Structure 1
């Protein structure tokens, strides 16, 4: 009698466990394409890059295993750390500039206007232009002879002679900053606009009825409720800026006097200019670790008290 009862009680359990296994298998099948893509285009290349960084890997010839020799070498690479300092400086300046433009644009585009859709489209249009194409466009605009800015300023009488905007570090740097803000502010505007539209109008209206000013509502309601959205936009902006390459390679070519060499530019130079692929891979791994660290710090600083 006891054995029969145990058999009858165990059958539903086995059926439930079988259904659960089939559901788990179905779930794995659904995510299998994404897992394959991640493994093919991220995990495997990352492993190969780390393996390459442990070798003296010339473009031609046989790789030679040297362990952590490339990592020891980069600690003494003054140009790499100089490029990292410049990259961090550029990242701080351009991120502040992007948010200073994108946030007002989002606040403006969030309100209902007669031409709201037109404004949103116009602000977003530069985003669809690739960084390479945008850099080529601005390289032409900044050209002292055949460009637009210097000849136009001379023609309008704003300056007596044409000035080569790419001959000085300050003018080169700020010209690139303006180009990047023009190119990317619309993307950040869309992210921030999404966060603004997610804030309940009832909350804003209740605060307004209670006598809160526009600035108070912005500080006490809008910013706290947009914490996650701002964190996303900030991480994307900082990560993209830390990986800056196209604009400095195409517009300035690292000049003047190698003062606009970014970390990725130096990695590119070592890998495909000096053909030291192993050393370039080691530099890439260090930059990856720095990016992950910065992203984690940003998430911790911007997370909600109750957690993100």
Structure 2
């Protein structure tokens, strides 16, 4: 009996050692995994989470540029409800986002379809279409501000010399010409980036599927509508979210080219936040406006993901 009991205890000890070893090995793997992601987590914490928390804390204060901040709770949020200029800037930002997103996709998708097929000079076309993306928004805005200048620019003086106009026209004097000039600049600047994103989605579609549909008699439009678009749903969702988020945060082009004019008709939400924070030195109120804009962006992104989700899920 004693020998039998000892044998069972020995068996339990023998079974327990591998279990403890497996547990220790799993812990080491988890620790190694945490060490690998630690730099990324530190960057996210340092450059996103902490600044976000500080901005929210500032939004609860009357925070002047100089002087001691004063806690006012939700006072800044109550104030923005009556800020007519902020809501006007939000309406303009949404209008701009809708127009520029449609314009970008109207150019980027055909470009992606064009450079997706292997032909001579395809690499040159891809490089040429993508090249404006390399230019920063500030530099591109400065370039177009010069091109649109009525005296020393290119467009209006060239049109006059070619006889297309009787006299030079200031393209930045009216809302329509200013707005559409900026739209053209943004499309020129960003269409190549969206083209590359859409191109990766096109290249991910199996050629066998397209060939089978072609053999079955499907027209190019039917293949595009029934095969290409459904299979590119995730890629389109990514490009759409990036485009909408970037458009909602538009600032450089309206600040540099139009300076919010004419008559504050091109003031975007970020432009108004900048004006309140660093023009009027109401840092707390500017932080509150930033928090509201962040919530709106998150809401729009969630709605986009739900609308573009597959029946099987993203």
Does the alignment reach a TM-score above 0.5? yes
Structure 2 residue matching 1:244: 3-state secondary structure: coil
Residues 6-32 of structure 1, C-alpha deviations (whole Å, 9 max, x = no match): 322222211111111111011000100
Write the deviation string for residues 29-58 of structure 1: whole angstroms up to 9, x where unpaired: 010000000000000000000001100000
Could you say which structure has the larger radius of gyration?
2
**Counterpart of 1:49?**
55
Which residue among 23, 26, 29 is the counterpart of 2:32?
Answer: 26
Counterpart of 1:299 in structure 2 is: 305
Partner of 1:115: 121
Shift of 1:192: 0.3
Mapped partners of 2:289, 2:123: distance in 1: 44
Does residue 1:75 correspond to 2:77, yes or no? no
Aligned partner of 2:268 among 247, 262, 270: 262
Gaps of 5+ in 1: none
Deviations 1:68-103 (A, max 9, x none): 110110111000000000000000000000000000
- What's 2:241 paired with? 235
Aligned 1:134-283 pairs, distance under 5 A: 134-283=140-289
CA–CA distance in 1 between the matches of 2:259 and 2:130? 28
Which residue does the alignment assign to 1:105?
Answer: 111
1:231 match: secondary structure: helix
Supply the distance in 1 between the matched residues of 2:12 and 2:79 (Cα, whole angstroms): 68
Q: Distance in 2 between matches of 1:145 and 1:192?
A: 40
TM-score w.r.t. structure 2 length? 0.97
What's the CA shift for 1:113?
1.6
Aligned residue for 2:100, secondary structure, equals: helix
**How far apart, CA to CA, are the structure 2 residues paired with 1:244 and 1:206?**
44
Alignment pair present for 1:129 and 2:164: no
Give the Cα–Cα distance (whole angstroms) in 2 for the partners of residues 197 and 3 of structure 1: 62
Aligned partner of residue 222 in structure 2, secondary structure: helix
Shift of 1:105: 0.3
Distance (Å, rounded) in 2 between the aligned partners of 1:166 and 1:113: 41
**SS of 2:289 mapped into structure 1:** helix
State the alpha-carbon separation in 1 of the partners of residues 186 and 138 from structure 2.
11
Residue 161 of structure 1, CA deviation: 1.1
Q: Alpha carbon RMSD of aligned pairs, Å?
A: 0.7
Equivalent residue of 1:224, what SS? helix
Instruction: Kindly provide the CA deviation profile for residues 175-227 of structure 1, in whole angstroms up to 9, marking residues without a partner as x.
Output: 00000000000000000001001111110000000000000000000000000
1:114-143 Cα shifts (integer Å, max 9, x gaps): 100100000000000000000000001001
What SS does the aligned partner of 1:35 have? Answer: helix
Q: Which runs of 5+ in 2 are unaligned?
A: none
